[in-house]
Structure 1
């Protein structure tokens, strides 16, 4: 009887371990601590680009998106707040790097990669 109970317990533990290993292999996406709505201010410090503008960015599961339609955002915020993104409109694009903080603010820099050379900084505030 004890051997049967031990065998059942061992089998249950092995099955549970296999289930945990399978879940780890599937890379389940978890919410990112920086998920939510952010207000971004972009300021040009060098070059002929627009001086400044502000827009809203949505972060969901670490992926950044913009619903305005004027340009596209392809970006990611890691669990430690590091930001890497590309903002593009037509053939023009800008590389964006920086960091979001747990206090609901962030900042970084950007520079264009097209024919027009511009660079600047950006600031972010969490809105929700």
Structure 2
């Protein structure tokens, strides 16, 4: 049995444009606004996107815990939102942020710097 998504306050004109996965989520890429550094990938549903747009702090949906989380509420590693954009297919969100501290749950600045794969293999 599938349940319907929780009600959201996301503007209907924005919600109508989104192309979500089967579970109602969009990948959300967090990027440092001034350097272009890619920090992390999280997941947002309509409500998480609404909260991100209206609070100025990144809110994500935890697929493992099945709950919303605001980046930095526990760790202090806050993401202050500078801009939010949809990609050309409206199936991915790019959130440009001012990252305070580490973005990765491991304590690293970015989630993409410790396992660089070799090219040409």
Give the structure-1-normalised TM-score: 0.36
Higher helix share: 1
**Which has the larger Rg?**
1
Higher strand share: 1
Give the structure-2-normalised TM-score: 0.37
